[in-house]
Amino acid sequence: MTAHSARGGLDDDTPLFVISVAAELAGMHAQTLRQYDRIGLVSPSRTRGGGRRYSSRDVDLLREVQRLSQEGVSLAGIQRILDLEDRIDVLRSRIAELTGELDAARTALAQRTRVFAVGARGEAIAVRPGQRPPRAPESQALVVWRPARSERRAAR
């Protein structure tokens, strides 16, 4: 079940909490949240009147900032860690996207690959990958194939 369906149309990025509630949920002072907003560490959404509205994701981020701070990491270090984690998320998404494209390309290539065999009289016979050509009762056929890269690597 996603956060979206769990809260009836709301997700983790929906700005819900005023600064006092977000501060309480994160176990911090509201002034600390204002400071984090000023330096760009955790930037909540704003209302039309300029009031801060924090989402569940923002509160989780505030808790993570607090944890790192308690471990002795400076605010600049925390910002760098958060930036790198964001970059990792972007790269993971890109890897998943490219993996899907590669799988689709491999499937398309496998479907287009044609395999030929040489029949008893020297004729070329198209066969499906993995199939043997039909044999004449007293002759033999020669099957020619090029192993896939994975097969070549395994043979080494």
Question: Three-state SS for 137?
Answer: coil
Beta-sheet pairing, 124-127 with 52-53 = unpaired
| Same domain for 82 and 28 | no
| Same domain for 135 and 107 | no
Confirm if 145 and 118 have CB atoms less than 8 A apart: no
The structure's pTM equals 0.59
pLDDT digits (tens, 9 = 90+) for 57-113: 999 999 999 999 999 999 999 999 999 999 999 999 999 999 999 999 988 887 777
List the beta bridge partners of residue 125: 117
pLDDT digits (tens, 9 = 90+) for 115-124: 777 777 778 8
For 34, phi and psi rounded to 5 degrees? -65, -40
Distance CA 57, CA 78 (A): 16
List the beta bridge partners of residue 54: 17
Q: In terms of C-beta density within 10 A (0-12 exposed, 13-18 middle, 19 or more buried), how is residue 59 classed?
A: buried
Distance CA 52, CA 19 (A): 6
| Same domain for 103 and 62 | no
> Which residues span the domain enclosing 81?
74-112
| Same domain for 54 and 3 | yes
